[in-house]
Amino acid sequence: MKNIVIIMLACIAITSCQNTTTELAAAPGYLNAGGERVNAYDGDPANLALVDAYIDAHNTRDLEAIASMNIDSTEMLGGFKVINSLGDVVEGVETHKNTLAAWFDAENPQWNTYFAYSMKVDGQPGEWVITGHKLTRTVDGEETSSYDILDIYIENGKIGGFWVYTRKAK
């Protein structure tokens, strides 16, 4: 009985030593926009399901499904656009669809996602998913791979555009 009382008193002493604060925690992230830091927070987890379905549609070459997940126009970006790792810009849902069809035929790309995070930036109308994947392509009969990061902009439950950053796999 004596040991139980000692253990209870130790537990009370330990929990009473915890720091409590009424300060608000700092935002878990930020975006540096035009020299100003803007707070970023966790976004809607439904965005992750959208991005997973989008990548799956790419892997299965379902151009109609991809096009249906794209939005023609956004408040933030204007028309749908993709900026690839070389800085080339693809504008418009139909142009994106045609570009993908040619790329699918030429290189048979396959995506293997290894992370995704949904975030909301203060003052922006939509949300973002930052995702990484290994991209494997077959070029002239030789398989090559890269590691890509995508910044995907989502507005009204659809993909408004994305930026691709890539590094060759070794």
Span 39-77, pLDDT tens digits: 999 999 999 999 999 999 999 999 999 999 999 999 999
Its domain, for residue 134, covers 42-168
Radius of gyration of the chain (CA): 23
Q: Over the stretch 131-165, which tens digit does the pLDDT of each residue have?
A: 999 999 998 899 999 999 999 999 999 999 999 99
Handedness of CA 66, 69, 70, 72 (dihedral sign): positive
Question: The pTM is what?
Answer: 0.83
Tally of helices (H runs) and strands (E runs) in the chain: 4, 10
Of 77, 58, 85, 55, the closest CA to residue 164 belongs to 85
**Is the four-CA dihedral 112, 97, 72, 68 of positive or negative sign?**
negative
Of residues 111, 125, 55, 66, the one with CA closest to residue 93: 66
Tokens of 95: 């142009």
Evaluate whether residue 127 is within a structural domain.
yes
Whether residue 83 is contained in a domain is answered as yes
48 belongs to a structural domain = yes
Residue 84 lies in a domain: yes
Residue 29 lies in a domain: no
Q: How many domains does the chain have?
A: 1
Residue 10 lies in a domain: no
What CATH number did the domain enclosing 145 receive?
3.10.450.50
Q: 164 vs 17, 105, 134, CA distance in Å?
A: 48, 20, 12
Whether the predicted pLDDT of 6 surpasses 90: no
Integer Cα distance of 63 and 54 in angstroms:
10
